[in-house]
Amino acid sequence: MDGERPDYIVVEGPIGVGKTSLATRLAESFESDLLLEGADENPFLERFYQDPRSGALPAQLFFLLQRARQMQDMRQADMFRPVRVADFLIEKDRLFAELVLDAEELRLYEQVYEHVTIDAPVPDLVIYLQAPEDVLLKRIAKRGIRYERKIEAAYLRRLSEAYMRMFHYYEAAPLLIVNAGQIDLVNNDEDYAALLEQIHANNTGRQYFNPVSAVI
């Protein structure tokens, strides 16, 4: 696949790392369909951040059903093979569930998961964005979503570690691991152009993109 544009790109990473913004810009560059997870559509998300104990299970089940429906829609339309960019993997759902649910809730979640999980399309490329917790907190504060003010560094640390574990073993699709802590892939054209070059140059196996931007 050297030199080819991937038909289905997924951008992933912890909260605040910039995956939705990057996915949006990639979709514009490739003139492609954009598939977003729609966190603002989850009516239980604010409750989760205010009271994780009572809000975790309904928030997680909503995301699971939402993502499964989106994957089903994509699978049904796959005959047309349009270029697509998404800001989530279906595999992330279990990652969050294991992080926020207690043992009994997780058993219930897994029962639902087994019934609704579908044969999701495999991406041609997964872009995994990484950044330190302090950078994530600054970016979360900058975007100013009210209910995200409750997010703490300890939660982001656990989430980042869970992502690292997941992608350490991930082999389903080519993986590009991006150190996004000191670059701006949305507002810095040089950073973005360098990423595009990496995407086009080689999207097989496991690759690393670790630039240092002139603008931090």
| pLDDT tens, position by position, 125-164 | 999 999 999 999 999 999 888 888 888 899 999 999 999 9
Percent of the chain predicted with pLDDT > 90: 65
The mean predicted confidence, pLDDT, of the chain is 88
Residues of the chain with pLDDT > 70: what percent? 91
Arithmetic mean of pLDDT, 95-105: 95
80 confidence band (pLDDT: 50, 70, 90): low
Q: Does the annotation count 134 as an active-site position?
A: no
Residue 90 has a pLDDT of 87
SS3 212: coil
Question: What is the per-residue pLDDT across 14-41, written as a single tens digit (0 to 9) for each?
Answer: 999 999 999 999 999 998 889 998 888 9
Q: Are 167 and 207 in contact (CB under 8 A)?
A: no
Mean pLDDT of 36-58: 92
What does the alpha-carbon distance between residue 112 and residue 117 come to, in Å, rounded to a whole number? Answer: 8
From the candidates 2, 51, 87, 124, which is the catalytic residue?
A: 87
Q: Which domains does the chain have, with CATH numbers?
A: 8-209 (3.40.50.300)
Contacts of residue 130, Cβ cutoff 8 Å, sequence gap at least 6: 13, 17, 160, 163, 164, 177, 178, 179, 180, 181
